[in-house]
Each structure stands twice: as structure tokens, then as C-alpha cells.
Chain A
Amino acid sequence: MSAEAVLLRARGNPSGRTLEAYLGAGGYEGLRKALARVPEAVVKEVSDSELRGRGGAGFPTGRKWSFVPKDHPGPRYLICNADESEPGTFKDRELIECDPHMVIEGIAIACWAIGAHTAYIYIRGEFVRWARILEQALDEARARGLVGRSILGSPFDLDIWVHRGAGAYICGEETALIESLEGKRGFPRLKPPFPAVVGVFGKPTVVNNVETLACVPHIMTRGAAWFASIGRSRNTGPKLYCVSGHVNRPGVYELPLGVTFREIIEQHGGGIRNGGKLKAFFPGGSSAPIMTAGDVDVRADFDGCAEAGTMLGSGGVIVFDESVDIVAAAANLAHFYAHESCGQCTPCREGADWCMDILDRMLDGHGRSADPDTLLRICRFASEGMTICPLGDAFALPISSMVTKFRDEFERRISTASPRPQKKLPALPWAGQRPGFGD
């Protein structure tokens, strides 16, 4: 089942990320082929491959590209989203580390397809080393005429720039990323208009994830039919799964879409460490509803996860053994989302904080019988379109699913709580009382 490595074929080769190595493996052949065809044909090839965005939403890439108005007179832009910040996700870093030219070639092809002459790689600020790797690769590509004026002897000009973020989870959301790229605070924008119509600098913009773009050269060289033959209908191609937490062999695994979580966790992740038992797992980053041990036979693809009431998201599989306290895990995530909410929308800004305060109070031994329902109510108010961007859902889905699926653990906390909560404490204690957070 673990077919040939496509995206991570250069992994393990220390000189694999040089331009020489990439060209030796047939690199930039996809760009050459794309430039020989009209942009519409490139969009169609990607549409036919059924490639879906690997950043989290799973939106069909070819369709996204086709939304860019063809008759728009001014410039248009492509942004490669390398702001990998979803807890449990570390695949784009691996791709950039192993094969940055694959990403650059994908960007160049995408730019040709949508008619963009400028692309930005927005990479999270912490990834200093990986930003340097991309810069080096771009220098190599410029020196070879693969990026810059008249690339590969065609009349097509293309500039690609690396743009570092500065520490904000929200900037992984495409409209927040666009705001950030414009030199602003990362506040998501209302949609519509969608970025494909009004994006960065007010111009049509496509934002694609690193892994999505890395698939594109292969679709051009080997064809849409080859790509669509991997996985199953509507869930095609190779996927990078990130396995972290309590497994013997955490890491990034390239597998065909549609493998089961059992295969990912047991076969590739090496099973639960110390001979332990699986308790629960996040299927696709921490913003997806949690799954229990009984869900391991769900297919790890877009539709398989949706049918099981969760999301493939970014493919970040976080594995918990039986030692994990779900209430503590929920509190940990609540801290994350409370810290990372941009603060524009009340349900998310306040809701994440309230969840954090309630969960911290439960951990401190002052849980109350109404807490689980209060958490669920807060989550309901923060999700289902009550906020500008999906960060409201991103905290609501995991927390409400943890309360629902592990309610007994929450109840147990409450039943052993101190019977008289201190009256002097505010109902929801201030987050700053815990070191390291809330500042």
C-alpha cells in the first residue's frame, strides 16, 4: 500500500534539495510542459486530477484557480501558504527541508495557470531555517533562469519572494495572511469577496498550501489520470500525514489518500509507545473533532473523515494513549486558541477565553455541574458562521467533541471537585494567574 514516494522522494538524501539533484530527478519538466500549453489547459489538467487543497479545507485546487477573473486588467498574485501553525502539523517544513524546488516549481506552474507574475511564499516567522532554505533554492533557480525574466526561454516573467510572518496562528487563514502580507495586523476579512476576486493589494489572488503546490509539478509531468489513480474518487493523490504524540515512530509519512487511521498509527507510526493502548486521536490537526479508539478504521481522506463527522484538515494526526487526561488536553487547546484568537469577533475572542477559564478552574478542582453544558453552549455560539473566519469553529469543534465524547471524564472531575468554590474568586478566574499565558 505504501506506494513510491512522490513528494518526499528526496528525503534522506543530504544533497537532495539542491537544484542539481532536483533537475537530475526530472525537476522543472512540469514547468516546461506547462509553459508549452495555454493556461486554461493547465487549470483543466489540475482540475481533472481532482487535487484538493492540503492546507485544511480540501477545496478543489483547479476550481480555486478557475475563479480568478480572466479579463482582469491589472496584476494578480499567487501566495504559497507556508504559515504551518496548526497544532499537530509539520509536513510543509519537511517538504521545504527535503525538496524546496518542488514547491517553487509548483508555484511557477500555478502562476502561469492564473496569469500571476509575482508570487509570495508566506512562511511562519519561527521557520528561520526553512525560510533560508527557500531563499537559497530561489537564488539557484534565478541563476538558472527558472525564476525571473523570460523563464525557460518563454515570454513569461515571474518573481517569487519569501515573506516571513512574525508569530500569529491566525495568519494561516488565507485572508488574515493577505492582511499580514500587506503589512497589517492579521485580521481575517469577510468573505465574499473571495481572494480570487479581491485578494492581496485588492487584486485577484490565489492562496495555496505548500503541499498542494508540490503536487502540481507531478500532475503536469505524469498527467491528471496518473494522479487520480492514487487514492479514490474525489480523494486523489499522495498525502503527507503528520503523526505526533504517543506513538513509537512519530514523523511525516507519505501515503495514498484513503488509508485508514489504523494503518497510519499502527503500521507507520509504529503503534502506541510503551505498549500502551490508544485512547483518542485528532485526525487532522487540533481544530478537527477528536476521534476515539473505536474510530481507527475511518479512512484518512476528505470524504472518509467528513462521513465520520470530523475533518482531514491538514493531516496532523495527534495520538493519545490512555495516560492522557482529556480535561487537561481540552484546557491546553483552550489556551492555544485563546492566545491565537485575533480578537475581532466577540464569540471567538471571549468564547475561547471563557472555555480556557472554565477548564482551568476544573483542573484546579473547582468544577461545577453546569460546566460541561456551559462549554457546549459557548462552543455553539462561536461556531457555525458566527465569526468572520473559522477560528471560532477551530476551538469549538475540538472542545465540544471532547466534552461530548469524553463527558464521563468531565463529570468525574466535577464529582471530585471541592464542594465550596471560593466566593472571593471571580466566577471565571483571570487567565494571568497561570504563568506563561494570558499576557
Chain B
Amino acid sequence: MSTRPITAADPAAVARAGFDDAMESKITALLARYPTAQAALLPVLWLCQERYGWISPGIMEAVAVRLGVSPAYIQGVVTFYTMFYTAPPARYVLQVCETLSCAVCGAKDLLALLERRLGIKPGERTADGSFQIVGVQCLGACGNAPVVQVNDDYYEDLTPARLDSLLAELGRAR
């Protein structure tokens, strides 16, 4: 399995976002699934994050206009959830599960390896924008602990050695 890197749109490019026809037709299809426009908010935000890599204030504004709610409301929702990036993410976001089963099965060693290899702490990203480490809560894969989610993909039953080779593989894929 090869994890697709995130291509984050330049902040200047999404300072004032508008939706092109491709996005517009997808949004229209989503709206048909729900009796209210507001209910399409999470799916539309996902659509935006897949397209632009992150949710900029400009994108929030565009979504607000499209769904008929205020930008402040959108921001409230976006920041409630942990998975929406409100700043451009690295190409690979390494999310290390730190909750109980992973914690007792060696999550700390994985985190330590990442910190050592990449020279950054959880919450930080490498200077070249390749990697970012995040400590996250239970990923729901406890039977295969410890687990790291890289972008959309789960990597399970990890050891520091396996994580190390994954890191090398992702580094080469740049």
C-alpha cells in the first residue's frame, strides 16, 4: 500500500475560494441527500479538504455562502472536530495513537522513534514540509496495536523497525 501524499493549496490561492463546476456538481449531489443544506456541511468540508488539502478561512467563507450559514458558525464546527486541518498540513501527517491498548503495546517507542528520526515533537512539522507528527486518541484498531495513521491509511502491528522502514519509504516517495 502506498499512501497518497497531501498536496496542500497555497494559502494565497485559497484566501478567496470559489467553487468551480466540478466542485459545484459534487456539492449539489451531496445536498440532495439531506433535507437541510446545513447537514451537508461535514461532507462539503471533506470535499474541500480533499481538493485543497486544508480548510482555509477563505474556504470556510465560500462554504458559508454556499450553504447559507455564517462563516463564524462554520469555524465553530471545523474547530470542534480534530480531522479538519486549519493550516496547510505536511505531505504526510503521522498520527500516532496514544490511547490505552496502543499505549500498553509500545506507542511511546513509536513516538520516540519519530521524534528522533525527524527531529520534531508532536504537533510540529519538518522544515521541508514532508512530515508532521500528531499524537491522537483511539483510532479503533486496538487489536493491531500499536497503530499509526498516515493521511488516510492505517499502518498496524507496528514496531519501531517497521515504522522506520515505512518512514524511509515515504521519504523516498517525495
Query: Which A residues lie at the B interface, using CB under 8 A?
Result: 75, 84-90, 93, 124-129, 159, 161, 163-169, 180-186, 201, 242-246, 250-252, 282, 286, 316, 318, 320, 324, 329, 332-333, 335-336, 339-340, 342, 435-437, 439
Contacts and interface: CB of A to CB of B under 8 A. Distances in A.
Contact of A88 (B34, B81, B122, B142): B142
Contact of B43 (A93, A163, A286, A320): A163
B143 A336 contact: no
A436 B142 contact: no
17 contacts: A90-B143, A125-B83, A126-B83, A128-B152, A167-B81, A167-B83, A183-B39, A183-B42, A185-B76, A243-B143, A246-B104, A286-B100, A324-B104, A333-B99, A435-B123, A435-B135, A436-B123
B101 A88 contact: yes
A183 B77 CA distance: 8
A250 B152 contact: no
Interface string B138-160: 11111111000100111000000
B141 A437 contact: no
A183 B40 contact: yes
A88 B45 CA distance: 29
A332 B98 contact: yes
A75 B138 contact: no
Contact of B81 (A89, A166, A181, A324): A166
Which among A124, A128, A244 has the highest number of chain B CB atoms within 10 Å?
A244
Interface residues of B, number: 47
A329 B104 contact: yes
Interface in B122-137: 122-123, 134-135, 137
Which among B77, B138, B141 has the highest number of chain A CB atoms within 10 Å?
B138
Contacts of A168: 80-82
A119 B52 CA distance: 29
Nearest to B98: A436
Interface string B45-81: 1100000000000000000000101000000110011
Contact of A332 (B33, B100, B134): B100
Given A126-B83, A166-B84, A183-B38, A90 B100 contact: no
A242 B100 CA distance: 14
Given A183-B36, A320-B104, A436-B135, A89 B80 contact: no
A326 B122 CA distance: 25
B138 A165 contact: no
B42 A163 contact: yes
